[in-house]
Amino acid sequence: MNNILSIDSVSKHYGNFTALNNVSLNIREGSIFGLLGPNGAGKTTLIRIINQITYPDSGKVLFNNSPLELKHVRDIGYLPEERGLYPKMKIGEQAVYLAQLKGLDSSTAKSELNKWFEKFQINDWWDKKVTELSKGMAQKIQFIVTVLHKPKLLIFDEPFSGFDPINANLIKDEILQLRDNGATIIFSTHRMESVEELCEDIALINNSNKILDGKLDDIKRKFKSNTFEVGVDSPNPDLLNKELESKYELIKPSFKTIGENLKLNVKLKDNQNSEDLLKILNQNARVIHFKEVIPSANDIFINSIEND
């Protein structure tokens, strides 16, 4: 798969402060890429460079294997965390104006807007002002004007902010549809459950440096600890616990199940396997819960930042 965006050894300084330090990333065409990091890590600076709001001090950015230029602005849609709608301007008029800035003529803009307004069931909002809308309602308008010109690359910075669960699901489904229709999406968020649901690839930036990147599944495999959640119904849980303790490392459990009288996390050594563990459990109890612990995006985020 081709890379729609290649970031090669990009650095950015503001006086004595280093916002980005020699960061390199490749973002695959047609993927959803999670750009992650704590506040102040450098994510916003990188997004601003991609949008040509600011420029790197060193390194280069390629868009479809060509140096990033002003003409590429029309191929990019950007939904910033801090929204930018004009509060006193009518929504329909404002949406048409913003679409024209991205290269659509007035007639095409109105036609495309009508489709989106109908899809979101907001036809009666056309002559309203932003001040009349809730934060979530205004967010829908911002989302529409971001995607309206059908850009090849979409950058969403905290796109679910202000949404209730119903509308968050609506936007999530639209993001997936945009991906299926060929768009590439950079997704920046602190909501790790959204990363789990949407992202195929991720990169984690901390203190201006990239500290990990790759396919999310591959990163999870790297962070696995060979630990299993075990919940059993045993006639003699103390005896079983003692037997397990003699063979394995037992860790205080944090998961929830129903109906077990012995619950624990069992960590296997490199020369041990889950089949032998399951055999012991089946010989001494009724197994209710048996699951390998796969690190979540949230676990990986916290572990990586704390150990950086």
208-249 residue pLDDT tens: 999 999 999 999 999 999 999 999 999 999 999 999 999 999
End-of-domain residue from the set 176, 203, 221: 221
pLDDT-based confidence at 308, cuts 50/70/90? confident
Task: Please identify, among 197, 221, 245, the residue that sits at the C-terminal boundary of a domain.
Answer: 221
Same domain, 256 and 138: no
The predicted-structure confidence for 48-94, as pLDDT tens digits, reads as follows 999 999 999 999 999 999 999 999 989 999 998 876 788 888 999 99
Res 1: pLDDT = 67
CA distances from 167 to 93, 140, 213, 239, 297 (A): 24, 9, 30, 51, 23
Q: Residue 295 — very low, low, confident or very high, per pLDDT cuts 50/70/90?
A: very high
Do 241 and 142 belong together in one domain?
A: no
Does a structural domain hold residue 298?
no
Q: Given this model, what pLDDT does residue 163 score?
A: 86
| Residue 273 belongs to some domain of the structure | yes
Instruction: Give this prediction's pTM.
Output: 0.88
The pair of structure tokens assigned to 228 is 């299993």
Does residue 45 sit in the same domain as residue 167?
yes
Clarify whether residues 145 and 236 are in a common domain. Answer: no
Band of residue 204 on the pLDDT scale cut at 50, 70, 90:
very high
Question: pLDDT tens, 146-190?
Answer: 999 999 999 999 998 878 899 999 999 999 999 999 999 999 998
* Residue 297 belongs to some domain of the structure: no
* Residue 302 lies inside a defined structural domain of this protein: no
- Same domain for 249 and 284? yes
Residues 265 and 163 in one domain: no
Same domain, yes or no, for 214 and 269?
Answer: no
The domain containing residue 273 runs over which residues? 225-292
Q: Are residue 38 and residue 156 in the same domain, yes or no? A: yes
CA proximity to 217, closest of 38, 7, 34: 34
Q: Are residues 187 and 253 in the same domain?
A: no
CATH number, domain of 215, equals 3.40.50.300
Contacts of 98 (CB under 8 A, 6+ apart): 145, 148
In a domain, 60, yes or no: yes
Q: What is the pLDDT of residues 267-288, one digit of tens each?
A: 999 899 999 999 999 999 999 9
Q: Provide the number of structural domains found in the chain.
A: 2
